Amino acid sequence: MAEIKEQVQEVLNKLRPFLQRDGGDVELVDIEDGIVKVRLTGACGTCPSSTITLKAGIERALLEEVPGVKEIEQVF
């Protein structure tokens, strides 16, 4: 579990500069049964495109790079 968490955090750290450039960020909340729970903060928290960012950007990267990740879920 700790290894998956480290790998997920690594991927989020790679994506973070792109989110911060637009005034937002992403925070890892939890990982449960392959479901990564994140919170989008700053401008990303209220952006109408946040679902696309979450699914097309963050989820795709996590699925490609971290074995064991099944999906991503946004928590508020």
The amino acid occupying position 45 is G
Give the structural domain span for 30.
Answer: 2-74
| pLDDT over threshold 80, residue 1 | no
CB 74 within 8 A of CB 49: no
Residue 45 has phi, psi (to 5 degrees) of -65, -30
CATH value at residue 46: 3.30.300.130
Q: Which residues pair with 74 in a beta bridge?
A: 38
- Read off the pLDDT of each residue in 7-18 and give the average, rounded to a whole number: 96
The amino acid occupying position 36 is V
The confidence band for 51, taking pLDDT boundaries of 50, 70 and 90, is: confident
Distance in angstroms (rounded) separating the CA atoms of residues 67 and 11: 12
Number of domains in the chain: 1
